[in-house]
Amino acid sequence: ELLCCHPLPMSTFLKRHVKLYTYRACVAKDEMGKMVSVINTVDTSHEDMIHDAQMDYYGTRLATCSSDRSVKIFDVRNGGQILIADLRGHEGPVWQVAWAHPMYGNILASCSYDRKVIIWKEENGTWEKTHEHSGHDSSVNSVCWAPHDYGLILACGSSDGAISLLTYTGEGQWEVKKINNAHTIGCNAVSWAPAVVPGSLLDQPSGQKPNYIKKFASGGCDNLIKLWKEDEDGQWKEEQKLEAHSDWVRDVAWAPSIGLPTSTIASCSQDGRVFIWTCDDASGNTWSPKLLHKFNDVVWHVSWSITANILAVSGGDNKVTLWKESVDGQWVCISDVNKGQGSVSASVTEGQQNEQ
């Protein structure tokens, strides 16, 4: 017959095979030795989807945020899970949370679909809203604190295409700078470059404040990664446009500095690709992409380890993979983090199929 009369659509059939295959790969890796072992399971009691979970600077407190519009903070020291705060104030799903460096106190920023950014602060053991930023016209998708060397600066990326920068000027005041139309129809992610003094070969006059050049990267729905740099008059200028993705850039992550002159950025996209961008030259103008992997599904999140040698990649198939650069410069998957969740969602899909 002309029509393929297989009871299942081909794509579903294929998907299953792919899953089986990846599962097998996963088992093989587990036999090699467990690289990832769960040491704490925190039941957040969120009433809806969790969208972000971040540890503080010390790795002792966990902040989570959810579509249930709440932000929660847990003390997770020694494998425990004590709810410290349940922060209400957003009127929409909360997408991301970000801890400020502890030298400024215990400060957490959250951003939401309600177009707001809220900065929470712990005072005398109680968490309270200390500032609310409502300068965006659409969902605020990403918040990221600048390196602590610069002071308290928060970058916020929004679906209105703008990026705003909040700088604490003291006495509860925040100064706002806005980059309009940074990414048409939306900025999905912002990530600061580590604090590096330019031309560290040249001696800085001792006693003076180091002359940092502030930079951050953003990714958006225009499929672009953009690098922004603050010029001498404190204005933010687009410094670079990194083009390689063919769909929305879902996340960008500037790798922590480990003392090498190379700058590294990881980006992931709706197109399933993860790129590692590196820049070796001092001027910071020549970035070259290297494809880490092309996944079969959207890649939502990339995160560097503190030592910048491992990249955690979170995919739409609910799989987390860990990647490491080998000696010859190739990126290799060193571990699948099996959360037992992929199989659940697979069975749901199959259940739907069986209904037919």
Q: Looking only at residues 36 through 55 of this chain, which bind other proteins when binding is defined by CB under 8 A?
A: 36-55
Calpha distance 253→93 (Å, rounded): 23
Query: Which one among 15, 19, 29, 64 touches other proteins, defined by CB under 8 A?
Result: 64
* Interaction between residue 235 and other proteins (CB under 8 A): no
The count of chain residues that interact with other proteins, using the rule CB under 8 A, is: 113
Listed ranges 22-30, 197-205, 281-289, 307-315: which one lies at the site for other proteins (CB under 8 A): 307-315
- Give the nearest distance from C-beta 223 to other proteins in angstroms: 8
Which strands form 249-254's sheet, in the order they lie side by side? 249-254, 263-269, 273-279, 288-294
Calpha distance 348→241 (Å, rounded): 40
Show contacts with other proteins in window 120-179 (CB under 8 A): 122, 124-125, 137-139, 141, 149, 158-162
Q: Which CA distances in Å does 334 have to 21, 233, 277, 300?
A: 16, 45, 20, 19
- Give the nearest distance from C-beta 230 to other proteins in angstroms: 19
Show contacts with other proteins in window 176-215 (CB under 8 A): 180-181, 184-186
* Interaction between residue 269 and other proteins (CB under 8 A): no
- Give the nearest distance from C-beta 233 to other proteins in angstroms: 21
Counting Cα atoms < 13 Å in the Cβ hemisphere of 17 gives 7
Counting Cα atoms < 13 Å in the Cβ hemisphere of 84 gives 21
* Interaction between residue 257 and other proteins (CB under 8 A): no
* Interaction between residue 61 and other proteins (CB under 8 A): yes
Show contacts with other proteins in window 66-105 (CB under 8 A): 66-67, 75-78, 92-93, 95, 102-105
Q: Which amino acid is at 108?
A: L
* Interaction between residue 330 and other proteins (CB under 8 A): no
Calpha distance 196→331 (Å, rounded): 25
Residue 180 or 283 with smaller CB distance to other proteins:
180
With b meaning 16 or more CB within 10 Å and e meaning fewer, what string describes 315-347? Answer: bebbbbbbbebeeeeebeebbbebeeebeeebe
Residue 176 or 185 with smaller CB distance to other proteins:
185
